[in-house]
Amino acid sequence: MRNTSQSFTQLPGSVIASPKGKVRRIIGIDPGLANTGFGIVDFENGRYRMVSYGCITTKSELSHSERLLTIYSKLQAVIQEFRPDQSCMEALFFVKNVTSGISVAEAKGVVTLCLAQNAIPVDEYKPNQIKKAVTGSANADKDLVERYVQLLLNLKEKPNPDHASDALACAICHIHTTLNP
């Protein structure tokens, strides 16, 4: 059901979105240096359809620049395969570890560049906005968000890994915020 960073397959019944069509294809992204989650959701006639999700993982033994290039290259492949017409990303939110925050910010910059080069508009949402849009509570824990993502997208199991689940939740938030009248 899910896709990994090595292989991306469109699920049967999903529709490639056109900018002027009624089907909207959104890619949600949970940026990170070690793991960048992505989730692609179609929205049509008030209904969601999960198209694909996965996680771009970089190896810690690679140089920092090689890790950023890996994120860029693999995200570019996802975009070329699924052709989303909108995107959204979880806004950076960190309090304690500034060093890891800087790495996440750099990964976010690479993701933003990749989206811009593909002319895909991007919106950002704070973690509590995403939680509230998906579950109705800005204080929902990770497990509850995963269960709601599973329910809203009619999945047989919770999306895994959690970075992909977060990306799908972000896409749902975007739909609630911008597309769902």
User: Catalytic site residue 30?
Assistant: yes
Q: Of 85, 90, 146, 166, which residue is the catalytic one? A: 90
Please tell me the distance from the alpha carbon of residue 148 to that of residue 154, in angstroms, as a whole number.
9
Please tell me the distance from the alpha carbon of residue 159 to that of residue 55, in angstroms, as a whole number.
11
User: Catalytic site residue 90?
Assistant: yes
Q: Of 85, 163, 166, 174, which residue is the catalytic one? A: 163
Residue 78 to residues 55, 81, 120, Cα–Cα distance (Å): 11, 5, 13
List the alpha helices (DSSP H) in 19-158.
Answer: 64-82, 98-117, 127-135, 142-152
State in Å, rounded, how far the first CA of the chain is from the last one.
29
Phi, psi of 97, rounded to the nearest 5 degrees: -105, 95
Q: Of 30, 42, 85, 166, which residue is the catalytic one? A: 30
Secondary structure class of 77 (helix, strand, coil): helix
User: Catalytic site residue 163?
Assistant: yes
Please tell me the distance from the alpha carbon of residue 3 to that of residue 46, in angstroms, as a whole number.
25
Phi, psi of 18, rounded to the nearest 5 degrees: -115, 150
Catalytic residues: 30, 90, 163
